[in-house]
């Protein structure tokens, strides 16, 4: 069988890229990889072990000891992240992790190790990978590239609903501050900053449903990637 192409989806927090990537993978029969979850996993273990998040050397040492694996559930196709034999997906959206993951993600040695892991997952093709530097750094040769965005107000509301569904409460104002700070950190970091790949299709999902975004992506994957929607 011919090798399946890889699909890279980048975008800021709350743009809907995780949900879109997961559902698109289910539609196409691809493997969904949330690269942000890997940075969250390093952050989670660093917090668990009491590591100083300003100690780059300790963070790099920790990351290099982590063995990542993906487990796809047969009944619904969802993919869970495991580290050193432990499933960590349930812990990765905890607020303490969300508030600190940008600090961990800016450490060059951590990114270098995780990028190697991510490229290894994608080597045989048939992967939909989402994050903030997939099309520019991790998979610059991906056959299909998308940059998904939305207005800050819409992104804040989406994130608030996610937290609410998980029985976690945070004021809209506080969430707005956290998200704008995260945007700034992700865009200005020296290694692997959030950026729009020059050959990516930009989709603004502010006024689109999930299904509409997915249909646009499927249409484009069959017809070329050189227009901006």
Asked if residue 222 has pLDDT above 80, the reply is no
Q: Which residues lie across from 87 on neighbouring strands?
A: 82
Distance between CA atoms of residues 223 and 226, nearest Å: 9
pLDDT mean over 166-187: 83
pLDDT score at 55:
97
**pLDDT digits over 23-59, tens only?**
998 888 889 998 989 999 999 999 999 999 999 999 9
- 7-223: CATH, from 3.40.50.300, 3.10.105.10, 3.40.50.620, 3.30.1050.10: 3.40.50.300
Q: Averaged over 188-202, what is the pLDDT?
A: 85
Confidence at 211, pLDDT banded by 50, 70, 90: very high
The percent of residues in the chain predicted with pLDDT above 70, rounded, is: 94
pLDDT per position as a tens digit, 129-163:
998 889 999 999 999 999 999 999 999 988 888 77
At which residue do the structure tokens 């607020």 appear?
95
What is the structure's pLDDT at 75? 63
Does pLDDT of 61 surpass 90?
yes
Using CA atoms, how far residue 85 sits from 31, 51, 60, 150, 222, in Å, is: 20, 21, 20, 36, 38
* pLDDT tens for each residue of 89-140: 888 888 899 889 989 988 999 999 999 999 999 998 999 999 888 999 999 9
**What residue spans define the domains of the chain?**
7-223
Give the per-residue pLDDT at 224: 45
Reported as a pLDDT band with limits 50, 70 and 90, residue 187 is: confident
CA–CA separation, 103 vs 94, rounded Å? Answer: 16
pLDDT, tens digit (0-9, with 9 covering 90-100), for 65-95: 999 998 877 666 678 899 999 999 888 888 8
8 A C-beta contact, residue 10 and residue 131: yes
């Amino acid at each position: 069988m011919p090798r399946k192409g890889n699909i890279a989806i980048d975008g800021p927090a709350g743009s809907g890229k995780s949900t879109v990537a997961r559902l698109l993978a289910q539609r196409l029969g691809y493997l969904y990889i949330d690269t942000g979850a890997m940075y969250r996993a390093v952050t989670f273990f660093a917090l668990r072990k009491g590591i100083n998040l300003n100690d780059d050397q300790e963070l790099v040492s920790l990351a290099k000891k982590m063995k990542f694996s993906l487990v796809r559930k047969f009944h619904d196709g969802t993919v869970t992240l495991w580290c050193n034999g432990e499933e960590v997906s349930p812990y990765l959206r905890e607020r303490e992790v969300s508030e600190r993951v940008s600090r961990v993600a800016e450490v060059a040695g951590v990114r270098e190790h995780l990028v190697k892991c991510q490229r290894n997952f994608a080597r045989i093709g048939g992967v939909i990978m989402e994050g903030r530097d997939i099309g520019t750094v991790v998979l610059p040769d991906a056959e299909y590239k998308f940059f998904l965005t939305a207005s800050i107000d819409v992104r804040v509301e989406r994130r608030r609903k996610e937290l609410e569904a998980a029985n976690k409460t945070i004021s809209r104002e506080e969430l707005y501050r956290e998200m704008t700070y995260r945007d700034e950190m992700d865009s200005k970091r020296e290694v692997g900053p959030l950026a729009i790949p020059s050959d990516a299709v930009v989709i603004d999902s502010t006024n689109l449903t999930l299904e509409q975004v997915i249909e646009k992506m499927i249409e484009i994957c069959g017809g070329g990637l050189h227009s901006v929607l």
